[in-house]
Chain A
Amino acid sequence: MKLREDQIERYSRQIILSEIGGKGQSKLLEASVLVIGAGGLGSPAALYLAAAGVGQLGIVDSDRVELNNLQRQIIHSTGDVGRPKVDSARDRLHSLNPDIRIIPYNLRLTSANIMEIIEDYDIIVDGSDNFPTRYLINDACVLADKPLSHGAILRFYGQVYTILPGESACYRCLFPEPPPPGAVPNCQEAGILGAVAGIIGLLQANEVLKYILGAGKLLNGRLLTFDALDASFREVKVLRDTDCPVCGDRPTITELIDYEEFCQL
């Protein structure tokens, strides 16, 4: 695709990067990314993906903006409290970059609707906040062969990992089963530093940009963890589990299941 003058100007500081250039910018403008959750992770991820000129950005969230979200969910503003998050996110992204298409999905993902939604996207960003949705997204992405950027946060700590179905380990290879309810607290119970959400969400955006551009080395096969209190990153190896029920050699999960039941909810 031929870039317009205003596009060359808008994206000039990344077009001059040899890994991007006009060709890479065209790839970004032709790419479609689905961001699941317009929360702590989805906010920074969506803002930077929109700013970079990802041509189609889908945003999924069924919640409304609350005052206690604003400490970290920087896509929303004080005046948005009470509005559906996807509306608030769409307006903010559109004002940041009217050059791209934003598709809001004001719904909760389920086994019944996820396959149809992810079908239209090149890569998925998991910024959800609960285990049933995380396993649902993983299984759907493996079954639909969609790359997935996983990010999760708690207090001063975060994890990032990239899943390329068929090539690298999936979320179930990493964690075969969810913790029983109550065993691992969520951000509402245990708290979260806004900057940690920003750092992990941006690492996810960084993975998505590299995937689209075909640049650098992705976080597939290695889990990156971040500890904000001692400002340290660590990584561990993630191997494909040949016995994985969804991506292993003899999968037993060949269609989506009931994820609430799987997580004992």
Chain B
Amino acid sequence: MSITVQIPTPLLKLTGDRSEVTADGADVKELIEDLEENFPGIKERICDETGQVRRFVNIYVNDEDIRFLQRENTPLQDRDRVSIIPAIAGG
């Protein structure tokens, strides 16, 4: 299984400046664990202590916000495209 993940600007340091990586997982929770194995430190930037996605970070599966799907339990399929989009404030 191969899922494409878009990495946002504030997290690029953790992926060695790669803005697109591939990862595996049957659902979003597993995908984040897989990202953490390859890019240590990324999970705590995306999730809080309870494992929930932080309130200023959104995760989209094929352009749909997981908050309106099944949140961290949203299932993933091969070739899905996941985007991680945090709030930024620069102007």
Contacts and interface: CB of A to CB of B under 8 A. Distances in A.
B16 to A, nearest CB: 14
Nearest to A183: B56
Contact of A237 (B9, B10, B65, B91): B65
A64 to B, nearest CB: 17
Contacts of A265: none
Given A235-B63, A236-B63, A237-B63, A134 B9 contact: no
A174 B65 CA distance: 9
B85 A236 contact: yes
Contact of B9 (A154, A234, A241): A154
A172 B57 CA distance: 12
A156 to B, nearest CB: 7
B6 A234 contact: yes
A229 B17 CA distance: 11
Contacts of B85: 159, 223, 225, 236
B19 A42 contact: no
Interface of B: 6, 8-10, 19, 45, 54-56, 58, 60, 63-65, 67-68, 83, 85-91
A154 B88 contact: yes
A230 B9 CA distance: 13
25 contacts: A127-B91, A129-B89, A152-B91, A153-B90, A154-B90, A155-B9, A156-B9, A157-B9, A159-B88, A174-B87, A175-B87, A176-B55, A176-B56, A177-B55, A179-B54, A184-B56, A184-B88, A187-B91, A190-B9, A225-B85, A227-B19, A234-B83, A236-B58, A236-B60, A238-B65
B87 A178 contact: yes
A134 B10 CA distance: 19
A183 B82 CA distance: 22
Nearest to B56: A179
B58 A134 contact: no
Chain A interface residue bracket vs B: 35 or more
**Which of B54, B65, B68, B88 has the most A CB atoms < 10 Å from its CB?**
B88
Contacts of B45: 183
Contacts of A190: 9-10, 90
Contacts of A192: 90
A41 B10 CA distance: 20
Contact of A37 (B54, B83, B86, B91): B91
B19 A134 contact: no
A225 to B, nearest CB: 7
A40 interface: yes
A184 B86 contact: yes
Interface in A208-233: 223, 225, 227, 229-230
A68 B91 CA distance: 14
B54 to A, nearest CB: 8
Given A39-B91, A156-B9, 8 more contacts: A128-B91, A129-B89, A155-B9, A175-B56, A179-B86, A184-B88, A185-B10, A236-B65
